[in-house]
Homo-oligomer: A and B are copies of this chain.
Amino acid sequence: MKAIVKTLPAFGAEVCDVPEPQITASNQVKIRTQATSICGTDYHIYSWDRWAAGRVKTPRIMGHEFAGEIVEVGSDVASLKVGDYVSGESHWTCGRCPQCLRNERHVCANTRILGVDVDGCFAPYVVVPEASTWKNDRSVPPHLACIQDPLGNAVHTALSGEIIGRTVAVLGCGPIGIFAVAIAKTAGASAIFATDTKDFRLNLATQLGADAALNVLNTDIEAYIKERTEGIGVDVVLEMSGAPSAIQQAMRICRYGGRVSLLGIPSQPVQLDMAEDMIFKGLTIHCIVGRRLYETWDTMRSLLASGRLDIEPAITHRLPFEEFAYGMELMRDGLCGKVVFDME
């Protein structure tokens, strides 16, 4: 079969002919992919940054976001059968470390990641463990079902505390940020302020439900939010950018007693005025990673299947997967929401 493979420890990737993956353990399933999508992590691997160089071993089939149909099941698989329509959690967890036993599987000590530590899904077939699959509702089409990994990040972040009737700031309007906007809207947030440096992304944020989309390059965010919240600040901040300046700002724009949920990953240390901006204000800070297995997926499934959550506008590009290089360029330039590969 043809797959997008990271062949060498350097910039780039190529479409290669590789053998179809086979079920090698009794708890695995084989899936024919119908749609896959590009994550920022894929771009890190493609561009071979420091993180990728330290973690990924080549050759490696890339990709971890997918939706597809089961074509074969291992002998111990009980909950799935051929023909089932599934997506997959990219973080494969061990189920038995202290974190997994406490149902904090999103911080499993032995996490392996599809398309990073094992061969991924940018290919017509992928093999994954039963425990890492999620059964989709048939009403959700593959080009939406495939993006549940990043959508799950947004659900996990936005819903880590109360949100109905709250004012919410979303800092950073990449795909996960705009998903967070949509979720806050569905959840009944009373006002949603989105920020970014790129107008293309701010426009997407508006389409997904932001009440105000603010370019940090030409807006005094703190003054704006103060004015719109009677001087109090927002109830909830969802930090999706990872920019140290945005993390500092998150603490300042949050009201006394408010919540800041941090998902964006800063690439360097961050200096914080903890006394004034955090402790005296009695903030609660949630550091978010991954998705809760599988509470987050359960919530996503019902929001997508019921039509309560509309993320269609976030899918800005649908490409044949051979055009992955163009998709990577879009990612690099921030000129996209979610880029989906139609696999068939």
Contact = CB atoms under 8 A, between A and B. Distances in A.
B159 A191 contact: no
Interface stretch (A29-37, A42-50, A139-147, A275-283): A275-283
Contacts of A306: 165, 190-191
Contacts of A191: 306
Interface SS majority for chain A: loop
A257 B99 contact: yes
Contact of A284 (B257, B279, B282, B285): B285
A82 interface: no
Contacts of A131: 95-96
Contacts of A130: 96
Nearest to A80: B96
Given A190-B308, A274-B262, A279-B287, A302 B165 contact: yes
Interface residues of A, number: 77
A278 B262 contact: yes
> Quick one: which of A265, A272, A275 has the most chain B CB within 10 A?
A275
A16 interface: no
A34 to B, nearest CB: 22
B275 A266 contact: yes
A287 B281 contact: yes
A104 B271 CA distance: 27
B294 A257 contact: no
B96 A256 contact: no
Contacts of A281: 107, 287, 289
B266 A274 contact: yes
Given A262-B279, A287-B284, A76 B165 contact: no
A123 interface: no
9 nearest A-B residue pairs (beta carbon): A79-B96, A285-B285, A190-B306, A107-B256, A190-B302, A165-B299, A104-B257, A103-B103, A101-B294
Given A188-B309, A262-B274, 7 more contacts: A78-B94, A98-B232, A102-B298, A262-B278, A269-B271, A281-B289, A283-B285
20 contacts: A27-B76, A96-B130, A101-B297, A102-B257, A102-B298, A103-B295, A109-B256, A164-B164, A165-B300, A167-B302, A188-B309, A267-B275, A270-B271, A270-B272, A271-B271, A274-B287, A282-B288, A283-B287, A284-B287, A285-B285
